Amino acid sequence: MPLTQSVQQPTIQQQLNAAAAAAVRSVGVIGAGSSGLAVAKNLKQAGLPFECLEREDQLGGNWCFGKPHSSIYQSTHLISSKQLTEYTDFPMPEEYPEYPGHRQVLAYLQDYCRRFGLDEHIRYNSGVRSVERHADHGWRVTTESGETRCYSHLVIANGHNWDPRLPQLPGEFHGTVLHSSDYKTPDQLRDRRVLVVGGGNSGCDIAVESSRTAPSTCLSLRRGYHILPKFFHGTPIDVCGERGLWMRMPLWMRRLYAKGVLFLTQGSAQAVGFPKPDHKLFECHPVINSTVVDAARHGDLRVVPDVVELLPGGARFSDGSTGDFDLIVFATGFKISLPFIDRAELNWRDGAPRLYLNVFHPQRDDLFVAGLIQPDSGQFGLVDCQAKCIAAYLKGLHQGRASAAELQRVKQTETPNLSGGVRYVDSPRHAVEVEHHSYRRRLEKLYRRLSRP
């Protein structure tokens, strides 16, 4: 539209006047991955006109293994269980395993698209080159082909796990360097002395895969991480944790419970070289991996300190030791990048857009971001909740609902803490971190308010 840009609280009549002058002509959605599809479904159910732009020739985003912009590898599975990943109104098939592989996830997204009739709204092979404010209202989007599309509102939902973050290290390495997003199959590791840098989920997965393929593998860790198994007594570990949240266990009790699980299933990871974590459990995104500690216990994987210098034939570590390597894989995460739009448009500060609930622009009512979160659980259902709120807000503003006008005021003045009481480690990886349980309840409560007539 935009429906109003006034910093002052508008009256209901002003909302109605604004809606009459600038109705929702069409909402542009950037990306047809898991987030973009959730937005599309909810806009359609709300009766709002929209169009979804997707740069690839098929939907699925990052889950399209083998596509140029996909960051996943051949053996990728969900690290959150299907129960805590699936959309709120579209369960994953019962026959799926607890942690589906990427082919199953892609098939699930395709089924979701068919179930809600979204394909007719998606323009494939339409990568976005630039987004600019339209002279009258809304946004002008230019695609990679040079075509221009205009929308009254815009939802950015193209994901943030695509722009590799690589450490700036002194020295020069003459071997092969990959980011984890460049790693695809174990053939890239065969007959190589491999160093994996980074202790997140991707780093540990690749290190385990390398330990089974390469003649030697080292895993370089800057700090210690809490490593949780994927299952406890046959139940996905996040489902176990969810039970504690629903029972309203305090944080200290959930930590004590998780430590008991680790004691029973894994023992001490420090005994095989993993550094002791310098933070409490949940203060940093935990590693969900049942095999990385076993690989170290079997002698197939060696844990080494942080890399401080690259050498022509290897690397030097923070304890002064060196290692010889043919291949270094940097599993060091991704930068938050939205290169097609001016950062000033997104209230960008400290490496990320600063948005109300990581979704709503504080001042503008015609610009939203979906999926810009790093939850400690699955993401599809959370983004579905975000999308419900976006659609209800747009509809509420158009209809002059008091609840929408109230959110318009709140998002300009309040910055809620989304940590659920957890004090996260100061790190770029936590720029958009949310505690999933409290975040979901906050979104659900907001949606109920916005849905009231």
- Contact present, 185 and 305 (Cβ < 8 Å): no
| Ramachandran angles phi, psi of 369, nearest 5° | -130, 130
Query: Is 25 found in the same domain as 126?
Result: yes
Identify the weakest region by mean pLDDT among 37-51, 132-146, 178-192, 416-430.
416-430
Query: Is 325 found in the same domain as 339?
Result: no
Joined tokens for residue 37: 């599809």
The mean per-residue pLDDT over the stretch 81-95 comes to 97
- Contact present, 96 and 163 (Cβ < 8 Å): no
Query: Is 276 found in the same domain as 147?
Result: no
CA 248/CA 378 separation, integer angstroms: 20
Q: For residue 134, what pLDDT band results from cuts at 50, 70 and 90?
A: confident
- Contact present, 326 and 193 (Cβ < 8 Å): yes
Query: Is 379 found in the same domain as 268?
Result: no
CATH label of the domain that carries residue 18: 3.50.50.60
Q: For residue 16, what pLDDT band results from cuts at 50, 70 and 90?
A: very low
Query: Is 158 found in the same domain as 49?
Result: yes
Give the three-class secondary structure for 32: coil
Q: In terms of residue numbers, what domain contains 385? A: 12-163+335-451
- Contact present, 423 and 284 (Cβ < 8 Å): no
Query: Is 91 found in the same domain as 222?
Result: no
pLDDT (tens digit, 9 = 90+) per residue, 355-374? 999 999 999 999 999 999 99
**How high is the pLDDT of residue 24?**
57
Instruction: Give 260-269 contacts, CB < 8 A, sequence gap 24+.
Output: 261/228, 261/229, 261/232, 261/237, 262/226, 262/227, 262/228, 262/229, 264/232, 265/229, 265/232, 266/227, 266/229, 266/293, 267/293, 269/227, 269/293, 269/296
- The total of structural domains in the chain comes to 2
Query: Is 225 found in the same domain as 98?
Result: no
For residue 17, pLDDT over 90 is answered with no
Name the average pLDDT for the chain. Answer: 92
Q: For residue 19, what pLDDT band results from cuts at 50, 70 and 90?
A: very low
**How high is the pLDDT of residue 447?**
98
- Contact present, 362 and 190 (Cβ < 8 Å): no
The mean per-residue pLDDT over the stretch 217-239 comes to 94
The mean per-residue pLDDT over the stretch 26-47 comes to 97
Residue 50: strand pairing partners: 27
Q: Tell me whether residue 234 is in a domain.
A: yes
Q: Tell me whether residue 1 is in a domain.
A: no
For residue 49, pLDDT over 90 is answered with yes
Query: Is 325 found in the same domain as 192?
Result: yes
**How high is the pLDDT of residue 103?**
98
Q: For residue 20, what pLDDT band results from cuts at 50, 70 and 90?
A: very low
Please count the other Cβ atoms lying within 10 Å of the Cβ belonging to residue 324. Answer: 12
Domain termination site, one of 309, 332, 355: 332
Domain termination site, one of 332, 364, 384: 332
Residue 122: strand pairing partners: 52
For residue 311, pLDDT over 60 is answered with yes
Query: Is 201 found in the same domain as 108?
Result: no
Q: Tell me whether residue 3 is in a domain.
A: no
CA distances from 218 to 10, 177, 183 (A): 60, 15, 16
Domain termination site, one of 332, 350, 373: 332
Query: Is 292 found in the same domain as 184?
Result: yes
Q: Is 134 exposed, middle or buried (0-12, 13-18, 19+ CB in 10 A)?
A: middle
Query: Is 113 found in the same domain as 193?
Result: no
Q: For residue 430, what pLDDT band results from cuts at 50, 70 and 90?
A: confident
For residue 71, pLDDT over 70 is answered with yes
Q: Tell me whether residue 363 is in a domain.
A: yes
Query: Is 170 found in the same domain as 297?
Result: yes
For residue 80, pLDDT over 90 is answered with yes
* Backbone Cα Rg of the chain: 23
Q: Tell me whether residue 194 is in a domain.
A: yes
Spell out a b/e string for 397-428, using b for 16 or more CB atoms within 10 Å of the CB, else e: bbebbebbbebbeebbeeeeebbbebebbeee
Q: Tell me whether residue 175 is in a domain.
A: yes
**How high is the pLDDT of residue 307?**
98
How many H helices and E strands in the chain?
10, 26
Q: Tell me whether residue 37 is in a domain.
A: yes
**How high is the pLDDT of residue 6?**
39
**How high is the pLDDT of residue 136?**
63
The mean per-residue pLDDT over the stretch 102-117 comes to 98
Q: Tell me whether residue 7 is in a domain.
A: no
